[in-house]
A and B are shown apart, each in its own frame.
Chain A
Amino acid sequence: MAEATTVTEPAAAGATVTEPTGAFSPPTRFAVPGRIAVSDRAAALWQTATLTEIRRETPTVATFRFAVPGWAGHLPGQHLMLRLTAGDGYTAQRHYSLASPPDDTGHIELTLDHVEGGEVSGWFHTEARPGDEVAVRGPLSGFFAWPGDRPALLIGAGSGVVPLMSMIRHHRARGLDVPLRLLVSARGPEELVYAAEYGAETTAVFTRRAPEGVPVGRLSAALVAPLVAERPPGGWEAYVCGSNAFAEHASRLLVEAGQPVDRIRIERFG
């Protein structure tokens, strides 16, 4: 059973915003250039993260706050690799998106779904308590990172909203005026992660059960197309995160609405 994770490449925090250039260019323009220059230093180092707080988000999702005194900082959208070690030396490691914004000095937060049979998420949801120590390595990823510069159109489902919430928190904490929108999909209101935190930037979609007066339905072109059409100066940078099925669906809606494929960044669970 795969746990909800993210993929992509390591990066160092505080990296300057560049478009990496390469010598060989394929005949087709590269679909998704990286957003930040990367250094390998922070990515290579395993650090101890001490659990300081657990907050329940939904019946199956909780946020875990850690003190990591040597944390190099990160950009919204980046992730880390986390490792648990058993008494006999057996280890299990997973990639998890960072939920907290960059300015939370010396602390990071992860929001984890309790995956059925998940050995790492299972430990977090049944064993973990404040004071426990785990190992982390990161931040990783320059590809899904959002430095807060370009207008961002965010689409997430389930715990796929986690890296997108880091972007929203960053946008608020810094008082950025660059346009930011979020479409978030959940099965029902009780499964909507961070329900109390959303503001005017967010539209929630409920696929099974909806609150009074809100229709039940899948993310649709009727929701995506008008947002894409707003096209702020410089155009949207679209960030999609969720299961593969959701990512395929959402990215197809974006393309059909006219969003350029080289301005769509996708992270799929796996």
Chain B
Amino acid sequence: MNVTRGFTGRPRVLDPGLPPGQYDAGDDWPVLSAEVTPDLTPADWTFRIDGLVAEPRTWDWDEAHALPASVYEGDIHCVTGWSKFGVRFGGVSLDAFLDVVRPGASATHAVAYSHSGYTTNLPLADLTGGRAWIAWEYDGKPLPAEHGGPARLLVPHLYFWKSAKWIAGLRLLDHDEPGFWERNGYHARGNPWEEQRYSGD
């Protein structure tokens, strides 16, 4: 360990909710999308699941909202270093969508893609069991466009680049296929508790 002369850092807060190498962003919620925020209204929005499923399906805004509502209250973690505690997203559990399309036995992974063309890959196991949502509300209000509104994928137990903004669909696959950041050096899974930031971490 090479100590930096004169560096003390912030007061130590014993925070079991903070993954290694992260800091508490407090009230800030930085926006870090690399592309132009798309001009997408709820009327334009659709969400599709296809690939290795029994019945591929596309939902529009109203059809998606007809599914049982579900809320995530907890923390989110960005690979750039900030974590945000006690956020509240509203939407629908991804399980509700997957129950309709019925993933095949050979489906092991998914590529999530956005209406902007952004992609990110996830193990199917990270998208099921009440750990992933399609979210359209933040703090009881419509999700702002710069944060992925009208609707984004929410996978809060992984670094937040996995929670694709402006979610357009999931394609289920029998293998892992890297998405945009993952093709460019980011970790395939991105578990903040194991500090899986970059490929090789």
Query: Once the chains are docked, how many angstroms separate the CA of A8 from the CA of B169?
Result: 23
Question: Which residues of the other chain, A, contact B25 by a CB distance below 8 angstroms?
Answer: 2
| Residues from 106 to 154 in A contacting B, C-beta threshold 8 Å | 119, 123, 127-128, 132-135, 140, 142-144
Verify B30–A44 contact, CB threshold 8 A: no
Residue ID in chain A nearest B173 by CB atoms: A24
Known contacts A2-B82, A9-B181; A84 and B7 CB within 8 A of each other: yes
Question: Which residues of the other chain, B, contact A143 by a CB distance below 8 angstroms?
Answer: 34, 184
Query: A226 in the interface, Cβ–Cβ < 8 Å?
Result: no
Query: Once the chains are docked, how many angstroms separate the CA of A265 from the CA of B180?
Result: 14
Question: Which residues of the other chain, A, contact B36 by a CB distance below 8 angstroms?
Answer: 31, 251-252, 254-255, 261, 264, 266
Verify B181–A31 contact, CB threshold 8 A: no
Query: Once the chains are docked, how many angstroms separate the CA of A261 from the CA of B34?
Result: 11
4 more A-B contacts (CB under 8 A) besides A5-B81, A86-B8? A31-B117, A87-B3, A261-B36, A261-B116
Query: B104 in the interface, Cβ–Cβ < 8 Å?
Result: no
Residue ID in chain A nearest B22 by CB atoms: A93
Query: A11 in the interface, Cβ–Cβ < 8 Å?
Result: yes
Which residue in B4, B10, B31 is a CB contact (below 8 Å) of A270?
B31
Known contacts A142-B184, A270-B80, A270-B82; A123 and B146 CB within 8 A of each other: no
- Count of chain A residues with Cβ under 8 Å from any Cβ of B? 65
Which B residues are within 8 Å of any A CB, using their own CB?
A: 1-10, 12, 21, 23, 25-26, 28, 30-38, 78-82, 111, 113-119, 146, 168-169, 171, 173, 177-181, 183-186, 198-201
Verify A86–B33 contact, CB threshold 8 A: no
Most chain B C-beta atoms within 10 Å of own C-beta, residue among A31, A32, A48, A143: A31
Verify A85–B7 contact, CB threshold 8 A: yes
Verify A267–B34 contact, CB threshold 8 A: yes
Task: Mark contacts of A169-197 with chain B using CB atoms, 8 A cut-off: 1 yes-contact digit, 0 otherwise.
Answer: 00000000000000000000000000000
Verify A40–B198 contact, CB threshold 8 A: yes
Which residue in B9, B23, B32, B168 is a CB contact (below 8 Å) of A26?
B168
Query: Once the chains are docked, how many angstroms separate the CA of A269 from the CA of B80?
Result: 10
Which residue in B23, B31, B111 is a CB contact (below 8 Å) of A92?
B23
Most chain A C-beta atoms within 10 Å of own C-beta, residue among B26, B31, B78: B31
Known contacts A1-B28, A93-B21; A266 and B34 CB within 8 A of each other: yes
